[in-house]
Homo-oligomer: A and B are copies of this chain.
Amino acid sequence: MSDHGSPSCSLCLFRHVCRDASTADIPSNAQKPLQPAQVRVPAGNAFFRQGRPVTAVFPLRQGSAKQVYESPLGWRQVTGFSLSGDILGLEPNEAAAYSISAVALQDTASCVVAIEALRAHMANPAFRDSVLGVMRHQAERERILLVAVGSMRAAQRLAMLLLDLDNEHRRRGRADSALTLAMSRADIASLLGLTLETVSRLLSRFASVGLISVQQRRLRLIDRDGLAAVYADLKPIPQPATAAMGSLADTGPEPRSF
């Protein structure tokens, strides 16, 4: 039932070991190809929940999801978003339980790869390396988020997210600058350690300065370099009331903290 030509498969981590894979660069010790089951997870439902035993990983075929971490004291925070082609449930260090929950942001379809099958395929060195690489990349991302939340101002954090989302969007094919946010303002706020009002305000501000255009969840990046400048804190982003336009980057910012 899995259409291997689908766009989400072309970037899938498992594409080389999946059923009837076109590429044949699998070493001699390759396992029998995966024949993943599939599931549909409606918007708002969880793929899996933090603390539950790891039973499978979920390559996202359509839709998107958020990762949510719930701390011992009950504080919840979104720790990341996943788009189609990403793998949900990959736990570093062979954890036996999911360290976070994954919740669908919209109606989604995903493959289901049993954890035993994954482990079996990990014997394949090339595949293993790519999986470990993905895990490392995720850890790196989380660390970048930590620094962002810990020592950057609100506008920077949001610019970072927008650029990141745009990158992922472009990595997945279409080169147009239009992207539709699957997540709510509250989700974005949680990820960035802000309030939803602040996120909304900043988006409006970005739009008013011509960096982007927003209408509800329809978003378009207009000035990527400008956003990058905001991210790097080169531009102080004019206040809504005072329209200070013209001077670009006056002060070398010198990273604070540490």
0 or 1 for each of A55-94: is its CB under 8 Å from B? (1 = yes): 0000000000000110111111111000000000000111
Q: Tell which of B140, B143, B257 touches A193, judged by Cβ atoms closer than 8 Å.
A: B257
Q: Which residue of B lies closest to A228 (CB)?
A: B73
Decide: A135 and B92 in contact? CB cutoff 8 A: yes
Q: Tell which of B100, B193, B232 touches A151, judged by Cβ atoms closer than 8 Å.
A: B193
Q: Which residues of A in the span 147-202 have a Cβ within 8 Å of any Cβ on B?
A: 147-152, 186-187, 189-190, 192-193, 195
Residues of B within 8 A of A136 (CB): 92-93, 95, 99
Residues of B within 8 A of A149 (CB): 146, 149-150, 193
Q: Tell which of B77, B95, B146 touches A79, judged by Cβ atoms closer than 8 Å.
A: B146
Complex Cα spacing A148 to B79, Å: 12
Further contacts, 19 of them, CB under 8 A, given A93-B135, A150-B190 = A71-B144, A71-B147, A73-B231, A73-B255, A75-B152, A92-B92, A92-B93, A92-B136, A94-B132, A142-B142, A142-B143, A142-B146, A145-B146, A146-B149, A151-B190, A151-B193, A186-B258, A190-B257, A195-B256
How many chain A residues touch the partner (CB < 8 A)? 46
Q: Tell which of B95, B132, B144, B258 touches A76, judged by Cβ atoms closer than 8 Å.
A: B258
CB within 8 Å of B: which residues of A?
68-69, 71-79, 92-95, 99-100, 132, 135-136, 139-140, 142-152, 186-187, 189-190, 192-193, 195, 231-232, 255-258
Decide: B193 and A77 in contact? CB cutoff 8 A: no
User: Least Cβ distance of A71 to chain B in Å?
Assistant: 5
User: Least Cβ distance of A103 to chain B in Å?
Assistant: 10
Q: Which residue of B lies closest to A72 (CB)?
A: B144
Complex Cα spacing A93 to B131, Å: 9
Decide: A258 and B142 in contact? CB cutoff 8 A: no
Decide: A75 and B146 in contact? CB cutoff 8 A: no
Residues of B within 8 A of A75 (CB): 147, 151-152, 255, 257
